[in-house]
Amino acid sequence: MLKSAPHSRQLRTGRYSGGHHLYLLTTVVHNRSRILADWRLGRLVVDEFRLAEEEGAARSLAWVVMPDHFHWLIELHDSTLSTLMRRAKSRSAHSINRALGRQCQVWQKGFHDRALRSEEDIKAVARYIVANPLRAGLVRRIGDYPLWDAIWLP
């Protein structure tokens, strides 16, 4: 009898990184620890979103950093999904560990990606992403949550 592949390997099966395609990326903190509830640590993750954009790897359309995970809606440019996420997770883990004065695993292995179809309402997806803190009961108004953004803001 064949054993099934580990879950992280299954996440990579069939993964395609198309330039200028839109993707919703999600990854989780190791053991679902809520370390990103400290907004200063969450800002270190946001710094990596901005760096990816500066480097030309991806354009950030919307994102939210939750206490134990993040959602990142991107248009992929000069990178692959795996490289983009490996860099964002590695760099943010290094920054978070430095800020905490420790050397521990920050992120769970792997990530989830979903390619968006051209007919999907991208703004609706972005609204869903940034409304995560509301659905989680962290705030009553999205403006009260410090770790989100979307390009459609004035």
pLDDT score at 18? 57
Per-residue confidence (pLDDT) for residue 23, from 0 to 100: 97
Is 80 exceeded by the pLDDT of residue 35? yes
Predicted local distance difference test score (pLDDT) of residue 152: 84
**CA–CA distance from 67 to each of 13, 133, 138 (Å)?**
28, 9, 10
Residue 16 has a pLDDT of 55
**pLDDT, averaged across the chain:** 89
Residue 19 has pLDDT above 90, yes or no: no
Position 10 pLDDT exceeds 60: no
Which CATH code is given to the segment(s) 14-136?
Answer: 3.30.70.1290
132-153 confidence digits (pLDDT tens): 999 999 999 999 999 999 998 7
**Residue ranges of the domains in the chain?**
14-136
pLDDT tens figures, 41-95? 999 999 999 999 999 999 999 999 999 999 999 999 989 999 999 999 999 999 9
pLDDT in tens, 110-135: 999 999 988 788 999 999 999 999 99
